[in-house]
Each structure stands twice: as structure tokens, then as C-alpha cells.
Chains A and B, each alone.
Chain A
Amino acid sequence: MNGAGFIRMTPIRRDIAIGLFFLAIAIAIPFIDSSRSTMTQVILLFIWASIVTQWNLVFGVAGIFSLAQMAVFTMGGYTAAMLSLYMGWSLWLTSFLGAFMAVLVSGIIGAATIRLRGAYVALLTIGFAVVMQVLILTDSDCFFYRGVTCYNFTGGSSGLSQFGDFGFRDWLGYKQSLVGKYYLALFLLVLGTIFALVIMRGPFGYAFRALRDNANCASSQGINRVKYQILVFALSGFFTGLSGAFYAGHYKTIGPTMLDLSVLLLLLSMMVVGGLGRAWGPLLGCIILMFIDDQLKVYAEWRTVGTGAITILFIIVFRQGVAGLIEQLWERLLALRGARTAGASATNDKATG
């Protein structure tokens, strides 16, 4: 396929092409380098990307500045971990229950913020996350005993552990278990990305964007704001909660540190650097920030400074993010080629912005 053909593709075909490109690389990585450090690093990348992709639906596409995404993630992880720990159920089952819990909680947050705009939404949602963290951290009542040691219901500040995992070690052996988890994480990310793309490019996406760009105008066209706001929160909750459960199963532990402001900032900068509301922004942002973070590893204490500075730089100078910059380049290319027929499809592509 030549360049001009690629440019002229419909957004959906282009999404498929880009997606297959990323997928091919992701599938190939374990064959090239299956060292422990690479695997864990890329698995973490997949987890972050899964969250940011769903967050992008709420924040980027629907334009609702919710900061509760990590709370939803933690809710999914804790639900799965606690059900496995207390009921003895398999983590495969409880992961789905965790995801449904996340959908429920996310929907409730969406409903609670319906009458609020902009900064107030940020405030309420960050408050939700803080309260959740405070309640977990201050949990000191004994819920059960293992030997003489007292354990709290939520695991308190040390978090939950010993609730089992996905059992890859028994199937694949110690050496290959990480590769198994790698492909599971990839599978989750692929499903989540397809889910997000279908929503973005489908009728829901148009409704969300219409409400974001002009709520009054959209409402007068018969788009029900209440319904769509709760819907976008609930939809984005599913894969976020599932990622939370995967995180718990992968690390065999989950704790209140996931609700730290620094984690939220890392994900926020991934979204901002990648490009808010753009289909491939979250993935690009995750790759870029994980790469930078990896480079700064030697200077451990400067990592957070780096993340913060990059976020500020992008929000001030490149608000469209890397995905937006690439899109601009695309259009420049298009103009250079002077392809008159390409004009129509280019305006369609802009719908993502």
C-alpha cells in the first residue's frame, strides 16, 4: 500500500492498520527479549495503557474531568482480591465480579457529578479517591486472624496479599509464567482498545462529543445528558476494573498506594502527552512516558520531577499531544500531495479532535 492510499483511508480502516501495527510489535516482543525486566516493564505498560484508554473516554471524548479513575481501578482490584481471599473463589471469576463492581461504582460517581461542571467534577472525584485511601489506610480493626496475626478487612496500609493468582505458574512453569501473564495483559489491552474505539467511532462517541462541545445544543437535539454521562462512566469502568483485578493477580498484592497522587499524575501525563480525546493518544502517551521513566531510572529522585515538568510543558505548549501533532503532520502531508479526493476524508478524520 502506498502512502497516499494510507492517508486516504477511512478512520476505521486506519485504526485497524495502526492497531495491527502495534499488535504485531507487542506479540513479537517476548520472542525477541523475554528477560524478566523487559516483561515486567511491558506488562506494566499494558496495565497503564488499559486504564488510560478507558479514562480517555470519560475525560478526552466526553470531556468530563474525572479524577476517580484510579479509585475505580483500585475498586476492581480490591473487590477481586477480597472475594478471592474471603470466599476462596478463583481469581478468574472474581476478576469479572471486580469489573462489575467497578462499573457500578463508576456509574455512581458519574451520577453524583451530573449537576457539576469542570473544576467541581475534578474536586468531587479526587475527594472520592482520597476518602477511599483514608478509609483503607486507617482501617485497623481486626477482621480475621491468621495464626496470632491480626488482619484488617481491607488490609490497611500494607494492602492485601495471599489471595492467589491466575495460576500461570502451574500451567506453564516458573520460567514461562511471565510470558503467559504478558499475553493476558496484552489481550486485555486489545479488548479494551477495541471497546474504546467502537464507542468513540460509533453513535455513542458522537453523542459524547456533542455534549462535550456544546451541552445546550446537544440537549436541544434530544441527547439526554444524564443518561449519557452515567453511561460513559459505567462503560469506562469495566475494563478499568478488570485491569485492577489483573494488577492484583499479577503482583499478587494490591494496596492503597495505587491511590497516591503521584500515580494519578503519571497516568494524567500519559493522557496529556499522548493527546486528550484522540483514539491512539493514550497508547502513545504510555509508551513515551514509560520510555522516559525508564531512561530516568538511574536518577530515581528526578523521576517525579521529570513527569511533572513534561506534563506542564505539554499542557502549555502542545495541548493536542503527540497524537495531535502526528495528525497535523498528516494533514500537512495531505496538503502537499494536493490530493483533492483526500479532502473529504480528512475532514472526517478531524471528528476525533
Chain B
Amino acid sequence: MEAFLQILFSGLTLGAMYALSAVGLTLLWGVVGMLNMSQGVMLAIGGYASYSAITYLGLPWPLGLPAAIIGGFITGLVFYHVMVRWMYRAPAFEVNIIIATVGAAIVLESLMIRVFTGYPLDQPFSLPGGFRIGGIQLPFQTLINLSVAGIMTLGLGWLLRSTRLGRAIRATAQRRDAAQLLGVPVARVYLQVMIMAGIIAAISGVMLTASVANLSPYAGTNPMLKAFFICAIAGLGNIPAAVGASLILAFIEGSIQYSVSARFGFPTMLGLAIVVLIWRPYGLFGQRTVERS
């Protein structure tokens, strides 16, 4: 029973972390067709924005989150104007944007090391403590992270389904040229999606660094890599499926780590992803899409 609770709680903690990273990623990948290799540093930027606001500016800790949102907004804006804007119309966008975001990730990571040093810091925006159930602790932060992931999923779902902006985004995702012909301001949609992704990543980054990972320029790298596979397994653009897959895979990873060895958690996950992708190349809940030519 104790072992089960242990796996359950650590699975929930990890799952919440993956879900947080996966939401922004699957939005960008599914809608804009952009595999964002900078997701990791975007998460770290959110964490550092909150940290700086509280530690350097001396703001009360609840203001860490708005600070992160501003940071994420600026990141999204910069990413659009420096990279996406010039690239999305050109051929081979899917591959080029991966190269560009790898470059951006390295640049931003080096800059963060310059400014904050690579030393791990504590995220001041966090809620310590937790419930004790059967002798095992379930941290409050885990529950907060799960709720935030849930709220973001529901919020995005509503936004995509029921608002004018959401319709424009879905139209652009389905067929960009047709959407443009029908008067959808495609460039603005890309900008808005980029900013949304930046803000989501920043909020996730704060939650993430408050929970499992310490705040460092690399804090987001590992969650990002796992989130990639979660999104691929779940199928692109399907946000609820991504959150569900995060929890399931975190439990699998937790059980492997508990029963076999901590070493094989990620390799198992990758193995699963390979099997799923070979069996269903468009993910478990994804739909085969027609390639844009």
C-alpha cells in the first residue's frame, strides 16, 4: 500500500509537471506546426521572471505570476518578430523552425547563464508542505500544478472552440491559404498563438520550478523532452489527450523507476513512443493530416 501511494504521488507530481510543459507545446505544434525546441528555455524564462520580480524588485510573492506572464508575453512577441514572422510562408517551415528554435534555445540559455549564473535557485513563488496520507506526503504544489494544468487545458479548449480568435486559429491550422482568402488575418493569428504559447510556457515554468525542479537555465530541458514524446504519443494539437497522456506516462515512468531502476524511466518512455509512432504515426488520438505543400 505504501509503495502504491509512493508511486501514485510521485506519478501525480511528475505528471503535473509534464502536463504543464505539454500544453503550450502541443498548442504550437498542433496549430502552427512548430516543434518548439525553445520550450525548455521559455519555461525557464517564466521561472526567472517570477524570481527576479520577487527577489530583486522586492514585490510580494503573489506578484511573481503576473511578472512571469509579462515575461512570457515579451518572449512570444520576440519569437514572432525575430523568427516566425519571416519563416512561416517559406517552404520547409517545419524543419527550419526546429533549427531556428534550437539556435534560439542555445542563445537564450547562454544569456541566462550570464545573467543568473547556472547555479540552481529556489523559486520563491511556491507553497511548501502537503497532506500526509498513509505516511506519504502529497505536496500542495503538486495539487496546484495539476489544477493549473487543468485550468489551462479547459481555458484553451474554450478559447479554441467558442471564440472568434479560436475559430481563426483553427481555420489557420486547417488550411492557411484558404483561411487567408476568407479574410482571416493569418499573420496576426500566428502572433497571437506565439504570445499565448509564451505566456503558457512562462506560467508552467513558475509552477514547474516551484515543484520538482530547482530554478536553473536547464530546468525546462528535461520536461520539454518528455513533453515532446507525450505530445507525439497523444497526437498533435489534442490538448486534453496530452494532459491525460502526461499522467499515464508519468505513472508508467514512476513504476519503472520504483520497480526496476531510476535509469530506465526515460528510455522506457522513448521505447513506448517509438512503438506507438511505428504503429500509429500520427499518435494515439491524432488524426492523419494532409500535408501542406
Contact = CB atoms under 8 A, between A and B. Distances in A.
B29 A119 contact: yes
A312 B267 CA distance: 31
A107 to B, nearest CB: 15
Interface in A307-333: 307-309, 311-312, 315-317, 319
Given A130-B266, A316-B86, A319-B90, A120 B232 contact: yes
Contact of A127 (B87, B106, B225): B225
Interface stretch (A8-16, A74-82, A89-97, A131-139): A131-139
Contacts of A261: 102, 105-106
Interface stretch (A23-31, A161-169, A193-201, A264-272): A264-272
Given A112-B274, A301-B114, A316-B83, A119 B103 contact: no
Contacts of B225: 126-127, 130
B262 A124 contact: no
B87 A316 contact: yes
B14 to A, nearest CB: 16
Interface in B21-49: 29, 33, 35
Interface in B221-238: 225, 228-229, 232
B8 interface: no
B270 A120 contact: no
B228 A123 contact: yes
A116 interface: yes
A134 B113 CA distance: 23
Nearest to B271: A131
Classify chain A's interface size: 35 or more
A308 B104 contact: yes
A118 interface: yes
The SS class assigned to the A binding surface is helix
B98 A122 contact: yes
Contacts of B102: 261, 264-265, 268, 308, 311
Contact of B263 (A135, A301, A317): A135
B110 interface: yes
Contacts of B273: 124, 127
B94 to A, nearest CB: 4
B240 interface: no
A128 B273 CA distance: 11
Given A122-B98, A123-B228, A127-B225, A304 B278 contact: no
Contacts of B96: 315-316, 319
Contact of A311 (B82, B100, B113): B100
A297 to B, nearest CB: 15
B95 interface: yes
Interface string B264-293: 001100100110011001000000000100
A120 B94 CA distance: 10
Contacts of A304: 106-107, 109-110
A305 interface: yes
B128 to A, nearest CB: 29
B277 A116 contact: yes
B270 A268 contact: no
A309 B103 contact: yes
Contacts of A307: 103, 106
A337 interface: no
Given A305-B111, A308-B110, A316 B277 contact: no
Contacts of B100: 311-312, 315-316
Interface in B90-146: 90, 94-96, 98-100, 102-107, 109-111, 113-114
A119 B94 contact: yes
A308 B100 CA distance: 8
B266 A122 contact: no
A158 interface: no
B95 A65 contact: yes
Q: Which of A123, A138, A261, A307 has the most B CB atoms < 10 Å from its CB? A: A123
23 contacts: A112-B278, A119-B98, A124-B277, A126-B225, A127-B225, A127-B229, A130-B270, A131-B270, A134-B263, A138-B262, A261-B105, A262-B106, A265-B106, A268-B99, A304-B106, A308-B110, A315-B87, A315-B96, A315-B103, A316-B87, A316-B96, A319-B90, A319-B96
Interface of A: 65, 112, 115-120, 122-124, 126-128, 130-131, 134-135, 138-139, 261-262, 264-265, 268-269, 272, 301-302, 304-305, 307-309, 311-312, 315-317, 319
Given A130-B266, A315-B103, A316-B87, 19 more contacts: A116-B277, A119-B94, A120-B277, A127-B225, A131-B267, A134-B267, A265-B102, A268-B102, A272-B99, A301-B113, A304-B106, A305-B111, A307-B103, A308-B104, A308-B107, A311-B99, A312-B82, A315-B87, A319-B90
